[in-house]
Structure 1
C-alpha cells in the first residue's frame, strides 16, 4: 500500500521562547536544495517573524504564515523534519508553525524517491538519513537563513519512516536483514506489504548509515522498522529522545515499532503513548473536507479529536526542543 495518490490528491486540491526575542508569527518559504546527482530537493521552511500572516493551503492541510516575510531573531535553533512513506514536506505544517512561533527555524524536505510523487526508492532506507544530513548542511551553509541559524542547536523531528530516519541519523544503526523474518510473521503489516511489492534495493542493503552528530535532540513519532535496531543498534544515539506511539496504530500495529525502540533505547527518554490515536493522527489535522482519496489520512477514530490532540502534541514537542536546545 502506498500513499502516493493520497498526497497527490491533497496537493492538487490546493511554548517557551527559543530565541532572544519570541516572534509573533511564523514565516514560510519554499526552497530547492541542489543535489549533485538528481533534481533539487523541495524544502519547506518555517521561521519566526513579526510580519502579519494569512492562511496558506496544502489541499486538505493548511497553516497560518507570512509567506516570504523577513525572519526575526538571531542564532535561532534549527529543526529538520522527515515525513513518512509517500508524504511531502507539508505533512506536519501545524507542528512546524508552532515551532516557528516559538523561535525555531524548521526545514522539512520532500524525500527524493519516497514521496507522494515518486516511490522509486521507497524502501531504500539508507537514503533517508543521508538526505536529512544533507538538508542540515544546506540550511547551515547555503540557505537564505544561514546567517540566522545557530549551528550548535540542531534537532530532528520525524514521523513513521521519518521517525526511523531521525533515529538512524542521530546514531542508530538498523539491521535490515531482520525484515524478512518480521514479515514472515506479520505479512499484513504495512511495512511488509510495501517491501513485498518493492523489495529493498541491493545497493541500499550495503550502503553505509549516515550519522550526523550535529543533531542534539530527536522527536520520533510512530517510527517505522523500530524492530530493526535492537539495543546494540540504538546505543550510538547520544542525543535526548522524545518518542511517541499511537496506541491504536493500524498501520504499524503491535510492539515492533515505537515500543521496540522504547525497550531498546539505552538512555532514559521521554516516551508517550497516545490513547485512542491512530497512525495518521500525528499528521496535521485536515482543515477542509477531504477528497475521497485522502479520507484515510484525515480520518480519526470516533471520539478522538485530532485538533485537540495536536494542541497538546505541538506544545510537548516545542517544550522538548526548547528544553534540549535552548534552556541553559
Structure 2
C-alpha cells in the first residue's frame, strides 16, 4: 500500500488541443500522448496531474524513475467526445505508478488523468490517513478536467470511469458511493496489528477533521476498477450498497501488504451486486504497479520485486487488456452484462 516514487519528471505541456479530431473515441489511436499539468486548488498548492490521451504522433520511450512508458510527449490529441478515466494511486505514491495501464487506455481512445494525492504522496505524508481527503480530491479532479482543463472541449462528461490501486482502490469505491466507517479501523487493528494499514495508522493517527468529514460521492463516475483495495473491511456489510455502477475488482493471491480476506475479498463478498472479480494467482501487492525498467534504490527494491516464477510483464499485458476491455464495455458500449461476482 505504501510506495515512494523514485523519479524525476519535467512538466510536459502542449497547445495542440484545438487541433481537428482525426479519429472517433471508439477507434484505437495509433499511440498515447502524455503531459503533466497543474490543477489549481483554492486552499493549497496546485495538484500535479499526469495525462495520457490518444494521438497519432510517433512515440518514444520516456522514463518515470525506474518505471517508464512509450508516449508522444506534448503531441496533438485526436478524437472528440472522449471518455475520461481518473486514476488514484496508493499510499505514498504519485501519478505515474500505473503508467503502462494509462498508456494502454489512451491507445484505446480514453483520456486518463492521474493525480498525485495532496498530503499522501512520496514527498508528503502529512495526511496519509485522512482518507476522506482522497475521494474529495478525485471528484475535484473530475470537475477540473471536465470544466476547466485544456482538454475540456474534447471530453464527454457522461462517460467517466475511475481506476484505483490500494488506498486508491478504496478511494474509487468511496467516490462511487461507498460509505466507510473509520471507527472500524481500531477494532480491525486490535486483531491485525502487524498489517501495514495498522502500522500506518499507529504512526499517523487520522487528523480530527478527517474523522468528522463526510465522504464525497461523485455521480459522474459510471464505472470503477479497484485493484487490491485498502480498508475493504471499513465498509462493513452495508457500506457498499450505494455503489450502483459496474465494478471490476482485483486481488493479489499472495498480497503481503493487505493479507487475508478483509480487503479485496471483503469487498467481493459484500458488494451485493454482480461484478467482475479477478484473483491473480502468485501476485503480490505491488505487482499491480507498472513493471520496472531499471533497478530502483536499494530501499525501494520491494516495489519491483515479484515472487519467483511470477512474470509481472506478462501479467500486465493481460491486466491492461482486461481493464481496457471493461472500461470500453461500460463507457463506450454500455449495458454489457457483467459476470456474477
TM-score bracket for this pair, using the shorter chain length: over 0.9
Distance in 2 (alpha carbons) for counterparts of 1:151 and 1:231? 32
2:96 is matched with 90
2:240 is matched with 234
Written as runs of structure 1 = structure 2, the 5 A alignment for 1:213-228 is 213-228=219-234
- Runs of 5+ in structure 2 lacking a partner? 11-22, 335-341
2:205 is matched with 199
CA-CA distance at 1:174 after TM superposition: 0.2
Q: How many positions carry a matched residue from both structures?
A: 322
CA-CA distance at 1:293 after TM superposition: 2.4
CA-CA distance at 1:18 after TM superposition: 8.0
Match of 1:111 among 88, 107, 117: 117
Match of 1:271 among 271, 277, 283: 277
2:57 is matched with 51
CA-CA distance at 1:21 after TM superposition: 3.3
- Runs of 5+ in structure 1 lacking a partner? none
Q: Does 1:300 align with 2:302?
A: no
Distance in 1 (alpha carbons) for counterparts of 2:193 and 2:166? 18
Match of 2:297 among 291, 296, 312: 291
Q: Quick check: 2:254–2:281 contact (8 Å CA) kept in 1?
A: yes
Measured against aligned partners, the alpha-carbon deviations of 1:17-67 in whole angstroms (never above 9, x if no partner) come to 982432100000100000000000000000000000011101100000001
Distance in 1 (alpha carbons) for counterparts of 2:259 and 2:193? 12
Q: Quick check: 2:32–2:72 contact (8 Å CA) kept in 1?
A: yes
CA-CA distance at 1:119 after TM superposition: 0.2
CA RMSD of aligned residues (A): 1.4
Cα gap change, 1:61/1:171 in structure 2, threshold over 3 Å: closer, same or farther?
Answer: same
Q: Quick check: 1:217–1:240 contact (8 Å CA) kept in 2?
A: yes
Distance in 2 (alpha carbons) for counterparts of 1:289 and 1:301? 16
2:328 is matched with 322
Match of 1:177 among 183, 188, 198: 183
CA-CA distance at 1:201 after TM superposition: 1.1
Q: Does 1:254 align with 2:260?
A: yes
TM-score normalized by the length of structure 2: 0.92
Distance in 2 (alpha carbons) for counterparts of 1:234 and 1:2? 24
Distance in 2 (alpha carbons) for counterparts of 1:174 and 1:238? 16
Cα gap change, 1:79/1:13 in structure 2, threshold over 3 Å: closer, same or farther?
Answer: closer
Q: Does 1:130 align with 2:136?
A: yes
More helix by share: 1
Distance in 1 (alpha carbons) for counterparts of 2:116 and 2:24? 26
CA-CA distance at 1:289 after TM superposition: 2.1
Q: Quick check: 2:26–2:332 contact (8 Å CA) kept in 1?
A: no
Distance in 2 (alpha carbons) for counterparts of 1:98 and 1:2? 24
Q: Quick check: 2:241–2:271 contact (8 Å CA) kept in 1?
A: yes
Q: Quick check: 1:170–1:239 contact (8 Å CA) kept in 2?
A: yes
Distance in 2 (alpha carbons) for counterparts of 1:18 and 1:160? 33
